[in-house]
Amino acid sequence: MAEKRWTVSRRTLFRGTVAAGVVTTGALSTGALRPTPATASPDGRRVAVLGGGVAGLTAAHELVERGFQVTIYERRAWGGKARSIPVPGTGSQGRPDLTGEHGFRFFPGFYQHVPDTMRRIPFQSNPDGVWNNLVAVPEARFARSGGDDFRVPLGLRIRSGFTAESFRETLGAALATALKMPATEGIYFAERLLVFNTSCDARRYRQWEHTSWRDFVGGRARSHEFRALLSRTLTSIMVAAKEDIASVRTIGTMGEQFLGNPLQIGNDGGLDRVLNGPTNAVWIDPWIQRIRALGGQFVLGAEVRGLEVRDRRITAARVVDESGAERTIDADYFVVALSAEQARALWSPQVLAVRPELAAMDQLFTDWMNGIQFYLRRPTDISRGHTAYIDAPWSLTSIAQNQLWDRKFTDFGDGTVQDCLSVDISDWNTPGVLYGKPAKECTHEEIAREVWAQVRSHLDDRGEVLRDADLHSWFLDPGITWQQGRQRNANADPLLINTAGSWEYRPQSHGALENLFLAGDYVRTNIDLATMEGANESARAAVNALLDVSGSNAERCRMFALYRAPELEPLRGIDAERYAAGQPNLFDVPI
């Protein structure tokens, strides 16, 4: 096949814009946004951003604000896992299609990088742009099969100034009361959090990075309630990790942030926030329009197949377009903003000869966390926030969206849908209750029936909360495809799962290849979790490295630090001495 150089026509760019659903007729107003960073007049230096998810869009946004000529290349759809997805053929009489999604997403108050970006995306008359489309939810519900549910309010504020003893007693009592478990187990868990929160960095990276969360909290030896809520739910359901393989450092850091949020220290807003409409409409499409208004260009249907290397530089990227033709794209700098499994496929012997540390990415672990949406003919009153289904074998969580969206659901589809229950499936490997098969081995129809049954068994044994008659239709993430020959599903969008000891396998955003920069939630970040926040943070680090290499004097991307209780800093100093002496943490006593 003859190789061609990539040229971007008006038709190609227009097709990429239309596919993203972007309107270019001035539908958005500027609002009171943060000023654009000072630029360094980069004299037409070109950047190719490979990947159009949150990491790629973040990198493009930061670079076009600084005057670089940026083109983003994306294979499937703008927004990546964060996008919303029209359900084909569901709209009628001028109404748009129903909206589906890879899985519902939430924006914890300790996210800092994503909200900072959102404030710089204009949206109608919002004073803070897209950021004003975030809505805080007031509670979380923990549903049990057969009853005994409980709800936890999320809007509480806690006074700071705690001591180690007050931390243990106050948090232990609060956990025992809120989660309906014995007081001794609440205090025990608080003690384990105290051990981590008072650990020095050396212990966090050298000991807790290599210890699983389940071993750290003693999950095997505790009560069923403890294991279900504080070992399993906090990992597989709440932060898309696995209790038996996720590191203490990763999960403990998230716990540190969740505890800091009620103190209103180091946080951007409510503990649990969601968007007030379909993700594309209230975030992704305005974001693309903003980047385009600043000069960014978009090419859709370009799958990256390889990188050409010469003299410790990337000279071109090879891509295949929708017709199957292979082309090369030229740029001065390349930002690889692909998922871990896509990025590591690009590490040829030529790339690894210069950056051998990238070979360790083969040790990174991915698993599945995908969503299904149930469209309902009447509004449902399950919870005023997220619901965790504690006993569900498929580790389910959900949120009812009608209560949160500004636009009525009857404006979509055929006009009869009044609510959408969006459910995330976090465990695709455990047999279900209807068919005795894991989700990976169920047809799409079986997945829908199985999830519906597991949810209903948790909500109301009499079937009053969710009735079969109310189910209008359902939509499974299209990344899940059934392979008839293998009698199992494939997943186009697996999720990186942090495992104990995996920090050493994850690369820095920049290395010995001078003009190659990495952005994605697999890159080393402070948030240290496969999240939109991690993708955004890594992209900022990549852009800052690019600015350094290019000699730019433009303002660097703002980077945010994670919260740590300053009251515990003296204890971390003591722990540094104890760790250096080979001693355990002061509060890590045998049970």
Q: Are 418 and 410 in contact (CB under 8 A)?
A: yes
Amino acid, single-letter form, for residue 344? R
Identify the pLDDT of residue 220.
64
Identify the pLDDT of residue 261.
61
Q: Are 454 and 421 in contact (CB under 8 A)?
A: no
Identify the pLDDT of residue 288.
98
CATH architecture of the region 4-82+277-364+501-550: 3-Layer(bba) Sandwich (3.50)
Can you tell me the distance from the alpha carbon of 545 to that of 556, in angstroms, rounded to the nearest whole number?
Answer: 9
Q: What is the pLDDT of residues 334-383, one digit of tens each?
A: 999 999 999 999 999 999 999 999 999 999 999 999 999 999 999 998 99
Q: What is the pLDDT of residues 240-278, one digit of tens each?
A: 566 678 889 988 898 888 776 655 555 788 888 999 999
Identify the pLDDT of residue 405.
95
What tokens appear for 462 in the block? 């009499």
Identify the pLDDT of residue 14.
33
Q: Is 493 exposed, middle or buried (0-12, 13-18, 19+ CB in 10 A)?
A: buried
More confident residue, 209 or 34: 209
CA distances from 352 to 135, 184, 345 (A): 45, 52, 11
Per DSSP, the three-state class of 389 is: strand
Residue 230 pLDDT > 80 = no
Identify the pLDDT of residue 211.
94
More confident residue, 195 or 17: 195
Q: What is the pLDDT of residues 19-37, one digit of tens each?
A: 333 333 233 333 334 445 5
Report the chain's mean pLDDT, rounded to a whole number.
86
Q: Are 341 and 353 in contact (CB under 8 A)?
A: no
Residue 440 pLDDT > 80 = yes
What tokens appear for 28 in the block? 């958005």
Identify the pLDDT of residue 218.
79
Residue 223 pLDDT > 80 = no
Q: What is the pLDDT of residues 151-181, one digit of tens each?
A: 878 765 555 555 666 666 666 666 666 666 6
Residue 590 pLDDT > 50 = yes
Can you tell me the distance from the alpha carbon of 430 to that of 412, in angstroms, rounded to the nearest whole number?
Answer: 35
Identify the pLDDT of residue 182.
72
What tokens appear for 192 in the block? 């384990």
Q: Where are the domains of the chain?
A: 4-82+277-364+501-550, 158-263
